[in-house]
Structure 1
């Protein structure tokens, strides 16, 4: 029987144990819970950081087992372990995996250190590193007892324990102090950086994330790490731990050179990932025109991110606190577009709402109205929109008096509006009203220097969203994707990365065998063989595009037949509703 004085030992040094728990959680990227032998929670992180000093009210069968047997317990799939059978909290349990180690003092179990997985990624970490994590925690437990419980030495012993854990990790780790100097670097980190231990400790170091770090607080981001006259591109996560920074490097690193990453000399616009010359010029232009009230027209191929640019202009303007209203002129049936844009009054037409409806132009008052696919707006509405722009007022359907509005219009198109004007499909006077500030978005094939940056951006985005393990990607795949033509632009790249993170085995590297076969086939069809003229290759490319279009047409037909709701069909196909309407129009599937 453990005496009462022994049972309270852990609680006596509770602040030190809590600091230790946070460090352990940050290093191993798992949640940590520490209890004494009366099941009183001494320390914890995340959801286990609440109710410290209180006895656990749950069944706690795993913890009781460890305290009673003085043995370690590993559960790789919680709720299916025999110990979980009959647990009253089983159905509500959020734990996916568990590793618990007893803290033994004078042959008695005085508490339990638990590593807990609450996500699939954390579960993978425990399953893939059971022996290593077990060794870490067992070693920590022995230091815990011999140094903390005997002399209660405090921070010096905590630092030694912290250093021991990091030193045994296969993952590269840097510890940075408040003066931006390297305090500790393990062997894995030194190998990645290509430096020795003696030259790195005490070195001033700087981290520059290549995407917006605040979007990925617990995710992997490409960083340019600069020290001395050296720059290295490293994928990792930067964490603030008490008065230090902890940089955890990803197991799989990029193959790009940090020297190829230009300095970010333009405005840093969230979601606009890219540092190639065309993108830097685009960001500077957006920064200059955003404060102006003048109309902007964004031209670019489908999938280049026209709405992202429109939102960036709004966010950098004086109207940022006011509404941003987006409408896709191709996604709304022609007979409804007028009432959507201009609104209507009570009783304006059969089926009208008894309360009337505020139009989107009026809803955007004092803000920004984004008109996507402006080339698909009917001529009759073009005339009414022109009047609204010139008079700065709108007249709802059925209303006798106009309503004044103050809006900035940003329009977007992937069509040749000059040709539309020549063909009588678009009003020339409206075009000049909307095209005061023209912005052209470069297609992805003109942004080769950004491909790798975008690859890692979307890998991170989709692994976080789908709760999957961040994979590596082979140099061959990077080279292939840099030479690919990208007919679907950034949207196609994003969809490809989402596909790849779903099919790559957990924690492994994406190689050429995982790429969709039609993508590889299409790429081969547009590569010109040495000594041949370009014209036959153009024919071959067109033939390949035709085959892909037939496949696309069939997929759209199948989705439309399966789902009565076009939004569901678009989601299933992985495209936007506006794109679906455009494809229906292109393939003449109106009756499907």
Structure 2
């Protein structure tokens, strides 16, 4: 109901409301809008439904012809011719058909203008929406026309190409990415997917993964659009899909012994260094946990942590696994090539476990990587820079291997910049109860059991056991016990039999009391096997041993070796 245009004396009413701004009041303009039809008012002053201002004598209008302005079939406005005196009134009445036709032509022009503006508005909205989508994509996006001139790019493309839109748009793509196969797409109309491309940029190098598609209009190639990302982004994507690790800190390594606390403090002190670390220790001591904890304590924690067991991968595959390969590098190779573990570890840490098992010819390549921070894929002579920290681990004596000629001395010294020696479990026995409780809680939750504790006999056995498999063996023993336990306490009968059998091998080094208990258990067990375990059987055993029945029961309950034997 707002006046948006007017001529002559009515020009002063622009931006004012007609009919009090009430479309439903029943006056002329409201009826035009509501009914979507034209009206001819020959005598406005005699028409009570014309306009309230005329009824009040506030305006000079005496007659009017008006019609709706439509958009998509709906009345969105009104255009009218108004007579302000009797001469104009007579003219309007006599020529009302021609004037109404004129108004409809004007309304059609206005409708086309409204449609045009609506389309422009929709186009701007869609353009803005498309720009927002393109800018939100984590890949670089560029487009070129049929002449190879860059016409569009998003912010990620600016970052990857190390330039700005102002400098990039309007430039020939050949000057930005010399020799790019995107220009071949203009000629052939055939795009490509995930192609690895390397370009020199000043003194730097752009290593990109590019997908290019032709833009076709009427079956004719009119341009190319390409999406691309840096090789480091691709590595992170591969890492997140295949080698994701939860963060793990040094504080999460269980144990309070002085030797362990000393190693943890050394690791914390060197975590933020980029120097190579060599972790040594027996199998099962937690070398891998220390490597991971160092990574997630360091300033590289947001980057990947890539773990490689050099002893678990066949020698024929280890080189391509570590360094990757180009397409067609060997029979059976992936057609598009493959990035190796070193590239995947870019901006992060690579953990080389069982480094003592690495073949001599690969030791040379590893030394090159550590010294020059670059790798060469199998089948390629182009070096690829990598920003990595190397942590190696072994349970072998590398110094002896160097003396024997099975491990390169120069590589050993490169790896052994920061040595960390993880103590075996038997040398930090005060940590055993802590580890027992930790693994009990962990496996109890996994199996949905409610187990409160270990019996004193089990605790003594664990504390005195020599643990050749270290922490890994201890965890396995606790997991076995949780599976076998039927009550709320883990007893000796729930412990792996091999631990007891192994313990007996060491019985000669036990105390006199332990030795006597063991032999007493053998005698009682043999008689139980011979006579049976009923009350009458036990009475007969007690009589033969010349002890009371109560004493026999007490010995059966208290002898820890006998408790074990009863269950096997």
TM (norm. structure 1) is 0.44
> Which one has a bigger Cα radius of gyration?
2
TM (norm. structure 2) is 0.45
